[in-house]
Each structure stands twice: as C-alpha cells, then as structure tokens.
C-alpha cells in the first residue's frame, strides 16, 4: 500500500489516511513525490518552528494532502488545508503547515491569515440565527421576535443584540412553551405571567459540592430585573410601533405583563455595591504582598530556566533547594531543553512556567498602575506607548493611549517610572528576531469580528503562529501568583483576584488619598461620576460632601483675586519656575510660589530630585564633607562638626537611594530592558 501511495496509483480520502496513521508515510512521500517542495518548507518561519512534535505533525499533514489529492506542495490550496483540518486529529500540525505555506506565498492572498479564524471563531449571526438557537415551536411568535430584533439591530452592538435575543427567545418565550404548551399570543393571563415571574426569580445550575460531587442546585437569579426590563420594553415597543404601522405590529399589541415597579433593580445594585466594596476592603491591604509574590515567582522561574540551560543533558542539578534531572536529548534548534524531571518523577516545563510567571507579573503591575479594563489591557499595542514633548521646556512626557472600549471614549494616561519599566520589559519580550513587534489579527469576543493586524503587546508565539494571549491565560497567570503568595481570605480559603478588582482598587486608593472624584472619573474613562463613586469602596455621600467642603474652605481662606483669569506674564512666570529649578546637583522639586526651606542647603533637602548622572558629584561632596569634619574635630569646632554631620548623613542617604534605584533596574526582572525613548511606539508634538 505504501508503494502504491507513493506512485500515485491509489488516492484514499483524508479521513482514511488520518484514521490509519503510519510513521513511514511522510518520509516515503517526501523522498518520492516532492523532495524540492519539502526542502522549501525548511526555510519557512523561524528555525525554532522546524523542530519538535508539532513540526513533524505539520510535515505529515502535508504528506497526507499530497497522497489524497495528488500534485506537489506548490499545488496545495486553502481548501486542501481546510479539508485536512475537518478530519480532526492533531489540528496543531495542519495549522503550523498552513503558516508555512502562507509564508512561502503560495496560498491565495484573500485567504484567512490563520486557520484559527475557522476553527474557534464563528463570527456574527443574524437575528434569525440567534432566535433559532432555542427551537421555538410557535412560528408566528418566532417571526415576531426576529422582526423585532431586526428593527432594533441598527441601534445595538452585537453583544447587546445577542443578549436581547437570549432574553426574549430563551428566558421568556421558550420558558412559556415549556411550561404552558399551546401558548401562541403575547396576551398572557394573570396566572401564566405570575408563574413565569416565579420561575424567573431563581435558576438551577450545576455546582461542585465540598465533597467533590457535581449536583444541581437552585439559587436566586441575580439579573431577574434586567430580564423583566427587556421583556417590558418588547411589549411597549410593539404597542408604540402599532400606532405607526398597525398592519405590521397591531396584531401583536398587548398589555405588558410586567409593571414599571417590577423592573426596578435598585436593590440588586445596592447588593452588588456592597459585595464589591467588601471585596476591595479585603484585597486592598494584601495588594503589596501579591506584588512581592509575583516578583519573587518570576525571579524563581527564571532561575530554574537558567540553571536548566547551563546544566549538561542528562545531568542532575540543584536550584532553589530543589533537585532536577535534565533530559537526555532535545529537539529544539538551540540545543537547550525546556523541561526537567523533579525528585518526585514529575516532568515540569520550565519554559511555560517562566512565561506564565512573566505575564502574571506584567498583568498585575499594569493593572494596578493604570486601572484599565481587561479588554483594554489586551488591546494595548506598541503604538499605544506615546512620547509627548512639551512645547515650552522640551521635556519628554510618556503617555499610554487607551483605545475606546466600553464607553467608546479614548483617553491618555501618564506613565509612571514603574509602569515604564514594565512596558519596557513587555516590549523587549514580544520583539522578534528582527527587533520589531509582529502585527497580529485579534478576535473581538463581544462583537464576534476580527480586528485588523496590530502590534499588540499581549501576544506570544504558539505552534509557529503569533497569537494574542487569551483572557483565560491572563486570569490563570494572576491566580498562579496568588497561589505562590499563600494569601487567604477571612475564612481561610485561598484568596482570588479578578482583573476588575485591580480597577476597583486603583480608583478606591486614588480617591482615599485625596484625588478629586471628577479627576478619577476622567482617568477611569467613566461617562458618569456616579459610576466612579460606585467603584470606590467608600460612602459616596461622605466623599462628595468632603470634597465640596474642601473646595469651599479653600476659597474662603485664599484671596479672591486668585480665581481670576491669569495674565500672559503670570503664565510665563509660572512656566519659568520649572526652568529655574535646575541646579548644579539635580533639580529642585519644590512647588511653585514656595521658598527654599533649607536656605539652599540642597544636600539636606528631601525634595532634591537627582539622577544617576549626579552620583559622581554627590560622592565628591560626601568626601569633602568627611574631610571638613575631620578638620573641625582637630580644631575643636564642635558646632561645625554637628552641622557638617547632618549634611554628611543626608549625602549618604541620597547615595543609598541612587544605588537602590540602580540595583532595582539591574535586577533579573529588568535584564535587557531599554529606556522609555527606545520602546515608544510613536512621538507626538
């Protein structure tokens, strides 16, 4: 049979070839059918993608396509790859083979960029398809719901349209057909509507019990009022449209079985607010411990990976008081393994552990410094990092551009030095061998559409493809850092963080530390200040009243002329203040309009801002102070000794601060991290 297949005498179909695998098929086909084509495949993609099990599966999938359809590798089309994909069995191999063929430029230019667009992504479905998911028995009502959704579709995004179809077709009408067979009109009796509301108040779910058994449990439905609101709007819209188009909607106009008072979800919102506040009060104090645990986990993961890279193949090595055994061989192009066996005989993938530890650390740092949403985090790109040059002083101000998401509002956030270090580490990691960040297509889970290729920061390479990191992977990375920290809640169970908890913590911490609520609203990107105050785990009335009292008290104590419009001369004097802060030793950080409180003894001043370039000058000052103290002690100038000692202590403290900053930047977390000017995506003026 192998000889007949290589000679192209018989052509079995792909399902038969997949269900009858042979390790001799690919070498034989490669040697007899198209050796030149297989040689070209060796040049497709990075060398690392040509090694390993998935690369072998990719070559086998190409050999199966040649046996089933004939021809050479240059004759393979997108349809051939789809046919092999539909056969299942090691889909990663055919996906990698598709990437190779695409890189060789022999596939159709209008074909999909990756087979993931067909495997896991369904795309948008029309109103009819959304309703038909629930197999409604009453055809006229089914058509009515489809017409209603079609009428509402232009004013709704796809996520809202899909949710409304679930409310009307599943939660409302499918439930009526299941419990009240024969119902064919929107005019419901009092008994029917009352029974439906009673069933809507609770839901049955499958939940794992403490003993490990999965059982069905009944619990209150948290969003019952939102479902009632959607059904009531359905009735009211039809009644309103019946006045303009009675021939189309008049037949279905009926009194709404739900009153306005039944749609109120104020109590549910209060319960949600109380639940969220309790989560933040419990998680805000342990955030520093989580940050330290994520940093420690990343250092330990890198230490294990580095020790494995240095260990000979098959040797036993010890790292972090753990003993591992390196594999006897590896198929990687660099010749270094990524997995090892621990003392218990379990195989551990140090490469995967290091990747998850890095992205867990980066996610925690970015979320806690910005307060952005999880979908905004995954949409950060290289072009989101902006360097803005001030027109007056020429200083560079780093900014982070947040793409419109929930509220369709774009905003810019100021990048702190700590956040700049994290972004630099991320950019350094995702750059390819050419020094650029690959542009990849990402899938919008809410709108069910593919976004155009962008240089996203949250991406990694899997099976020869550059993919955006999944939201599930990000959540697991955060949970991995939590597990390493050992933090527990009040009941002794492991504490869990959701990505949105960092947003609530960011806003709460900002307001509690004196940031005005309306400024926090702008930073968070909320359309209403009440939404911002809802995130803050404090009482809104107290915060707003305290802020208003602060404004009124400040205005009553300060001269009224300070609230007039400033003149051009005053504005220029204000800008000149920041230029006059430059000193021979760093910069003075005192506020505008304030005098020097240390009589220009800058070494003692706590607001002196110094950089690493000022350290040699500071060392000279410290040595000179030591010599002057020695001279004063010899001469008996005790008052001079006391004053110079204060300056010497201040100089030593500032040198220690500079050394600690340099040590932090040169730690393993920041190895190879470029400066902000080198990682910025673009510069605006």
pLDDT (tens digit per residue) in 210-228: 677 777 778 888 788 889 9
Say whether pLDDT at 122 is over 80. Answer: no
pLDDT on residue 46? 66
Which element (helix H / strand E) includes 65?
A: helix 53-69
The token pair at 442 is 């990402």
Which element (helix H / strand E) includes 400?
A: strand 396-402
d(CA 57, CA 62): 9
Quote the mean pLDDT of the chain: 83
Give residue for tokens 């070498």: 27
Helix intervals (H) in 212-286: 224-244, 246-249, 266-283
Average pLDDT over residues 112-132: 78
d(CA 422, CA 92): 32
Which element (helix H / strand E) includes 217?
A: strand 214-220
Is residue 132 within 8 A of residue 166, CB to CB? The reply is no
Which element (helix H / strand E) includes 219?
A: strand 214-220
Nearest one of 265, 263, 243, 266 to 253, comparing CA atoms: 243
d(CA 131, CA 103): 41
Work out the pLDDT band at 443, boundaries 50, 70, 90: confident
Is residue 399 within 8 A of residue 388, CB to CB? The reply is yes
Distance between the two ends of the chain, CA-based, in angstroms?
A: 70
Query: In this structure, what DSSP letter does residue 170 have?
Result: I
Work out the pLDDT band at 467, boundaries 50, 70, 90: confident
The token pair at 672 is 């190879």
d(CA 262, CA 211): 39
Angle subtended at Cα 16 by Cα 14 and Cα 20, rounded to the nearest 5 degrees: 120
Work out the pLDDT band at 549, boundaries 50, 70, 90: confident
Residue 104, Cα to own-chain centre: how many angstroms?
A: 32
Provide, rounded to the nearest whole percent, the portion of the chain with pLDDT above 90: 20
d(CA 604, CA 638): 19
Q: Which long-range contacts (CB under 8 A, 24 or more apart) does 157-164 make?
A: 157/446, 157/447, 158/124, 158/446, 158/447, 158/448, 158/449, 159/446, 159/447, 161/127, 161/130, 162/125, 162/130, 164/230
pLDDT on residue 90? 67
pLDDT on residue 511? 80
CATH of the domain spanning 288-497, picked from 1.10.443, 1.10.150, 1.10.260, 1.10.3470: 1.10.443
Helix intervals (H) in 513-579: 517-524, 529-535, 540-557, 568-579
Distances in Å between the Cα of 181 and the Cα atoms of 184, 200, 301 are: 9, 18, 60
Q: What is the pLDDT of residues 564-584, one digit of tens each?
A: 777 888 778 877 777 777 777
Is residue 608 within 8 A of residue 586, CB to CB? The reply is yes
d(CA 625, CA 649): 10
Q: Which of 487-501, 594-608, 653-667 has the lowest mean pLDDT?
A: 594-608
> For residues 107, 111, 114 and 120, what is the CA-based torsion angle, rounded to 10 degrees?
-140
Q: Which long-range contacts (CB under 8 A, 24 or more apart) does 428-433 make?
A: 428/672, 428/673, 428/674, 428/679, 429/358, 430/457, 430/459, 430/460, 432/46, 433/46
Higher confidence at residue 52 or residue 31?
A: 31
Distances in Å between the Cα of 476 and the Cα atoms of 5, 483, 560 are: 46, 10, 56
Most confident residue range from 110-114, 152-156, 609-613? 152-156
Span(s) in the chain for CATH 1.10.443: 288-497
Most confident residue range from 146-150, 600-604, 621-625? 146-150
pLDDT on residue 237? 94
Work out the pLDDT band at 294, boundaries 50, 70, 90: very high
Say whether pLDDT at 429 is over 70. Answer: yes
Provide, rounded to the nearest whole percent, the portion of the chain with pLDDT above 70: 91
Nearest one of 541, 478, 539 to 277, comparing CA atoms: 539
3 state SS of 399: strand
pLDDT on residue 618? 84
pLDDT on residue 365? 93
């Amino acid at each position: 049979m192998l000889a007949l297949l290589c000679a192209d005498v018989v052509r079995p179909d792909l399902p038969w070839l997949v269900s009858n695998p042979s390790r001799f098929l690919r070498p034989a086909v490669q040697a007899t059918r198209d050796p030149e084509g297989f040689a070209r495949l060796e040049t497709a993609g990075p060398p690392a993608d040509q090694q390993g099990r998935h690369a072998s599966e990719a070559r086998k999938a190409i050999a199966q396509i040649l046996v089933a359809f004939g021809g050479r590798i240059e004759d393979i089309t997108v349809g051939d790859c789809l046919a092999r994909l539909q056969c299942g069995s090691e889909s990663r191999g055919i996906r990698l083979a598709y990437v190779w063929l695409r890189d060789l430029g022999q596939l159709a230019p209008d074909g999909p960029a990756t087979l993931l667009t067909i495997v896991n992504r369904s795309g948008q479905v029309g109103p009819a398809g959304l309703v038909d998911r629930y197999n409604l028995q009453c055809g006229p009502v089914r058509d009515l719901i489809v017409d209603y959704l079609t009428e509402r579709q232009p004013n709704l995004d796809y996520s809202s349209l899909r949710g409304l179809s679930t409310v009307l077709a599943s939660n409302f009408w499918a439930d009526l057909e299941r419990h009240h067979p024969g119902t064919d009109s929107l005019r419901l009796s009092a008994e029917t509507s009352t029974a439906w509301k009673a069933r809507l108040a609770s839901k049955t779910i499958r939940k794992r019990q403490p003993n490990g058994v999965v059982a069905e449990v009944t619990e209150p439905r948290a969003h019952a009022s939102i479902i009632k609101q959607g059904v009531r709007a359905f009735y009211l819209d039809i009644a309103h449209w019946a006045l303009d188009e009675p021939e189309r909607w008049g037949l279905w106009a009926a009194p709404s079985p739900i009153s306005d008072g039944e749609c109120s979800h104020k109590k549910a919102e209060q319960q949600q607010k109380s639940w969220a506040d309790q989560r933040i009060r419990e998680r805000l104090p342990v955030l520093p411990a989580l940050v330290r645990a994520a940093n420690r986990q990343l250092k330990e993961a890198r230490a294990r990976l580095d020790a494995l890279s240095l260990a000979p193949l098959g040797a036993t090595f010890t790292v972090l008081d753990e003993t591992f055994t390196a594999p006897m061989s590896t198929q990687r192009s660099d010749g270094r393994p990524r997995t090892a066996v621990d003392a218990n005989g379990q195989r551990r993938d140090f490469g995967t552990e290091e990747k998850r530890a890095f992205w867990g650390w980066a996610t925690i740092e970015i979320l806690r410094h910005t307060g952005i949403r999880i979908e905004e985090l995954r949409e950060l790109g290289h072009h989101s990092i902006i360097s803005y040059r001030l027109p007056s002083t020429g200083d560079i101000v780093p900014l982070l551009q947040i793409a419109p998401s929930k509220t369709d509002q774009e905003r810019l956030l100021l990048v702190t030095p700590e956040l700049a270090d994290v972004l630099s580490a991320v950019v350094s990691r995702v750059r390819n061998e050419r020094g650029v960040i690959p542009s990849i297509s990402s899938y919008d889970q809410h709108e069910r559409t593919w976004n155009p290729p962008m240089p996203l920061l949250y991406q990694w390479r899997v099976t020869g493809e550059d993919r955006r990191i999944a939201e599930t992977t990000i959540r697991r990375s955060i949970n991995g850092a939590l597990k390493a920290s050992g933090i527990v809640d009040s009941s002794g169970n492991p504490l869990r963080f959701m990505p949105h908890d960092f947003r609530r913590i960011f806003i709460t911490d900002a307001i509690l530390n004196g940031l005005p609520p309306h400024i926090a609203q702008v930073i968070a990107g909320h359309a209403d200040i009440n939404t911002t105050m809802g995130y803050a785990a404090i009482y809104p009335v107290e915060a707003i009243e305290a802020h208003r009292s602060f404004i009124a008290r400040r205005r009553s104590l300060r001269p009224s002329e300070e609230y007039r419009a400033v003149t051009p001369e005053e504005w220029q004097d204000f800008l000149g203040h920041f230029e006059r802060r430059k000193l021979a030793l760093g910069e003075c950080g005192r506020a505008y309009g304030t005098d020097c409180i240390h009589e220009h003894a800058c070494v003692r001043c706590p607001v002196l801002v110094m950089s690493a370039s000022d350290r040699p000058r500071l060392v000279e000052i410290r040595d000179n102070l030591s010599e002057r103290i020695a001279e004063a002690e010899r001469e008996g100038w005790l008052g001079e000794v006391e004053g110079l000692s204060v300056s010497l202590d201040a100089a030593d403290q500032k040198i220690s601060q500079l050394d600690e900053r340099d040590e932090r930047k040169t730690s393993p977390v920041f190895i190879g991290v470029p400066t902000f000017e080198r990682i910025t995506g673009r510069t605006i003026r």
